[in-house]
Structure 1
Amino acid sequence: MRIVLALAFLVLSLMPAAALEDRTGYPSLTPQQDDEIRAIVRRLLLNEPDLLERALENLRDTKDQDRLDRQREAIAQNRAAIFDDPRDIVLGDPSAPFPVVMWIDYNCTYCRAERPVIDRLLETNPRVKVIVKALPVLGAGSRDSAKIALAVRAAYPTLAPSFHRALLDLTQPANTDAAFDVATQMSLARPEISAIADSEAIETYLDRTLDLAEDLELTGTPTYLIGDTFYFGQMAADDLYATVNQAYCGTDACEN
């Protein structure tokens, strides 16, 4: 009840007087009643100075839980698109039983930093696979490099993981020229890749991936989906490994 009163005081203090006019059909508070209520809440806050902070934390927790509920519902409604899209790049053994989904942008500094962390995860836990979702949000170069990575996935499926890693290892911006330089170094046929990259199918896939990210309320890259929980931003290696293991086997270190 104290938290409710604190939030009410915060709302009242921020609203102009005109906005407080009653529009519900119920009798309005008299000026004296309004003053008395404000005085009660002021005394409460003076006696418990951290109450307002706790009230705001409670509000944030409620909003966070609402978002988690919406996200889990969206996961349930989009399971095939999230976990079973054959156009996605898969790192590790594609038949591994536990999927970790990772949304990335090839120009995302944090995504690049996570590359060796992901490799180590797969080396130490062969029952895990990482499904890569291209989420090009950092400009035209990001979308163009994602298109070429997806084209390599379509034309050279077994080489797609190596191409993906090479793009993340770039020390320059990822764009069309940089991606085709990587393809040339790997002796891949540029005309074939270019034709697939410019196809309607690839454009449609990227548009749908962006729509899916919006439905899931994703806010940037990298984003992980581990079990039924999203993790936003770069994760320290130990935290990532422990989180994956907890979701998979219920302990920080699974037996392989």
Structure 2
Amino acid sequence: MRHALILATLLATAAPVVQAQDLPGTAPMTEEQRAAFDAAVRDYLLRNPEVIVEAMTELQMREDQAAADRDVQMLAENADRIYKNPADWAGGNLEGDIVLVEFMDYRCGYCHKAYQDVEDLVSTDGNIRFVLKEFPVLGDPSVLASKFAIAVRMLYGDDAYKAAHDALFNFRGEIDPDSLARLASDLGHDPAAVAARMAMPEVQAVIDANYELAQIMEINGTPTFVIDGTMVRGYVPLDGMRQIVAQERADG
């Protein structure tokens, strides 16, 4: 059906395109010549619809390459903000030869699906530096969860942040101030201190900086990964991530 629609569109638009200008280096076409030429083009496309498929495949390949080239440029132009922002938690092998960056939201279903895959990738590979970017895009509860994790890091350090991060991805129920207070207690933290820090402007500033970077990088959903020099928008299973890591290493 898709190919039929493409063919119909091309057939409908071929005549106006041809009629708009005559071929370079030739005398202007008469109306009869133009009509004959248009009919010949139409007849050729009807008899050889595979040409349409080939053209669309080539167009898709060019668009994909252009998007990949744009991603490479954006990664290069924003490298420090992506890979080396001190406001972001970093773990795994801090001296690893591959950097895996994840833009994530604690209420995102596909982030939950990716959570264990990412943990397995980092732990089994052993040579990946893992960077987490708080990118709450699914409403106020998501923002609260991110503020909680950021506040815990500011108050208690990186290990406490990772424990909070893991707890939030394993959390079941509504995320609200009361549930986060209970979670803070479960993690051994002072709920009042965490709540007070969550309200501080420097916590919101971390989130705002990630929003700004995401806009620059044309990221509008979660999860989004940067695997060294490759941008991946959306969930990728563990085997797929391993293949990307292997390709990045092969490319040097």
TM-score by length of 2: 0.82
Structure 2 counterpart of 1:155: 155
5 Å-filtered alignment, 1:1-256, equals 10=9, 13=12, 31-157=31-157, 158-248=159-249
Q: Deviations over 1:25-68 (max 9, x none)?
A: xx997654543343232122123212222222222222222222
Alignment check: 8 A CA contact 1:145 1:176 kept: no
Query: How far did residue 10 of structure 1 move?
Result: 4.0
Q: 1:44 to 1:15 in 2, by over 3 A?
A: closer
Q: Quick one: distance in 1 between partners of 2:77 and 2:137? A: 24
Q: Quick one: distance in 1 between partners of 2:139 and 2:15? A: 42
Aligned-partner SS, 1:220: coil
Aligned length: 239
Query: How far did residue 175 of structure 1 move?
Result: 4.4
Alignment check: 8 A CA contact 1:107 1:174 kept: no
Query: How far did residue 142 of structure 1 move?
Result: 0.9
Structure 1 counterpart of 2:3: none
Q: 1:127 to 1:181 in 2, by over 3 A?
A: same
Q: 1:37 to 1:193 in 2, by over 3 A?
A: farther
Q: 1:178 to 1:242 in 2, by over 3 A?
A: farther
TM-score by length of 1: 0.81
Q: Which moved more, 1:135-144 or 1:179-188?
A: 179-188
Aligned-partner SS, 1:196: helix
Alignment check: 8 A CA contact 1:122 1:128 kept: yes
Aligned-partner SS, 1:153: helix
Q: 1:197 to 1:40 in 2, by over 3 A?
A: farther
Q: 1:49 to 1:178 in 2, by over 3 A?
A: farther
Q: Quick one: distance in 2 between partners of 1:181 and 1:83? A: 33
Query: How far did residue 8 of structure 1 move?
Result: 11
Tell me how large the CA RMSD over aligned residues is.
Answer: 2.9
Question: Runs of 5+ in structure 1 lacking a partner?
Answer: 1-6, 252-256
Query: How far did residue 96 of structure 1 move?
Result: 3.2
Q: Quick one: distance in 1 between partners of 2:136 and 2:34? A: 52
Alignment check: 8 A CA contact 1:102 1:222 kept: yes
Query: How far did residue 106 of structure 1 move?
Result: 0.7
Q: Deviations over 1:113-132 (max 9, x none)?
A: 22221221222122112111
Letter in 2 for 1:55: A
Question: Runs of 5+ in structure 2 lacking a partner?
Answer: 1-5, 22-26
Q: Quick one: distance in 2 between partners of 1:12 and 1:219? A: 36
Percent identical among aligned pairs is 26
Q: Quick one: distance in 2 between partners of 1:179 and 1:41? A: 67
Q: 1:45 to 1:143 in 2, by over 3 A?
A: same
Aligned-partner SS, 2:93: coil
Q: Quick one: distance in 2 between partners of 1:209 and 1:112? A: 20
Q: Which moved more, 1:77-86 or 1:54-63?
A: 54-63
